[in-house]
A and B are shown apart, each in its own frame.
Chain A
């Protein structure tokens, strides 16, 4: 039976391609946190991409729709007290919020990987400085650093992309610490020694020997940084910082609180962003738990 299917696969296509897909599906079936997390992610992407064809973008800005309408056929998520169609806000806001998270996360992990690698590899004073820098900056809450920066920025030129870049300033310390300690423990492995004896250069060792083994950690770091960035992108507007005109999830929460949505009995105004944020953080939590299992088989054995 196994031989049959193997030979059939080999006859049709290069042997690895159908097998890889099957392996991935089989793995996802076992690693259900990863499956749930990725499903929510795909749902969000499809929702915002498909949705963007059906909505008028101006409906997501104030006075784009009649104010304070409860959820109905015309406005599935209702409209807020300032005349935003919350369905349109959700479609644009999910995309923008994920975009901020991914931009800041990738910059953070990229820079963190560079620093973590170089400091673990070259050691010496450089390593001491990087370690202290990370220790110190991880102690000061990132949100507070961002508050100081964002409050001194010019509100008019404060775009969402700029906000992502600002958030990225506090997204690299975590990855630096994780990557540094992983590289430190990996570079003593026999296979690195072999590569070095074979005359491989430092960069060759980094990219050919270490990087592939680091991938799960890089993935987990990325999810961690994206989580932090999305938290900041929700938290800063909730405090009244950043571009408060743009339809993001955090900005919606700010206006709902600022305009007393609850006392005006407009529960949907608050509930729509809350449900989206909860889904988003559960998604990130599940993906990170799933990646953890992928990276660390010991967790698997513990269950």
Chain B
């Protein structure tokens, strides 16, 4: 693994995080909306009247958030705060800070996404490999590709269908949430099973819609690999089928798939927000939707920032694993 490759990747992660922070800072600046004024106005009008001295209140709040400083100064302060993960207070749950709220929900998202992403990757890749394998059965080679169409449909739409049929009509699995909210969560085996039961439908929505993408990529690579000379040679040597399949074909076709995994993170996270919302899964996506509903800007920006940081780090990890999987690749050229 060359030094410049690592430096380049680290630089990319920092640029990604920096650009997310910068977007969060400047987009609200160029729009006419004033979050603090709006929020105060909303609270004031809930009480039925707008108190005298409202403008003073807005100004004192703006001072507290440093909004009376020149923009470049605000920007530098902001970047410094972001670097320390000081994401500010939530407007709608005031005494609570944004990191506190994010900390409560991020583990649900990480748990759901990491398990489903790995499962989808394995299932999709294996299916794709089998679809291209000339010795597979007729069904796998010709019928299965039809379900690839599912990969065209957004996950949350398939999620809605699953909610309607599996949860609502047939009552096989819960409608939403992460565990039975009527019971106190106690950590034992049955609670873990319950979490798995509640996570099955959201996970299924992901697997059904994203496995196809991996299968398509893998099928393409397998077709190329099967034309290689070492495959013919292996077959001529009389190697067993499974050995040819796993050790000769799949292993070589797998590499571009791993690169794809790094690229796919941003799509996976984007799609997961909507899946969480429709299943009311208590992760970051649902938190984000609630923040949008309550115009809790600091929470919105905080979640977007954290999600981007998470994607950057996940990409970096995969980029670092990749050269270990494929020592042939020299990164100097790039």
Contacts and interface: CB of A to CB of B under 8 A. Distances in A.
Contact of A285 (B24, B28, B152): B152
Secondary structure at the A interface, as helix, strand, loop or mixed, is helix
Describe B's contact surface by its main secondary structure.
helix
A270 B300 contact: no
Interface string B194-217: 000000000000000000000000
A148 B23 contact: yes
Given A147-B288, A282-B153, A138 B23 contact: no
Interface in B2-36: 12, 15-16, 19-20, 23-24, 27-28, 31-33, 35
B153 A141 contact: no
Contact of A140 (B31, B151, B152, B266): B266
Contact of B300 (A140, A142, A147, A285): A147
A55 B168 CA distance: 33
B220 A302 contact: yes
Contact of B164 (A132, A231, A262, A285): A262
Interface stretch (A19-27, A92-100, A106-114, A236-244): A236-244
Interface in A254-283: 257, 262, 267, 270-271, 274, 277-278, 281-282
B293 A240 contact: yes
Interface string A159-200: 000000000000000000000000000000000000000000
Given A277-B153, A281-B154, A238 B16 contact: no
A135 interface: yes
Interface stretch (A9-17, A149-157, A205-213): A149-157
B249 interface: no
27 contacts: A136-B15, A139-B16, A139-B266, A139-B311, A139-B315, A140-B19, A140-B20, A140-B23, A140-B266, A141-B308, A144-B20, A144-B304, A147-B288, A147-B304, A148-B24, A152-B28, A152-B35, A235-B270, A241-B292, A257-B278, A270-B164, A274-B160, A281-B152, A282-B152, A285-B152, A299-B220, A302-B223
Interface of A: 132, 135-145, 147-149, 151-154, 231, 234-235, 238-241, 253, 257, 262, 267, 270-271, 274, 277-278, 281-282, 284-285, 299, 302
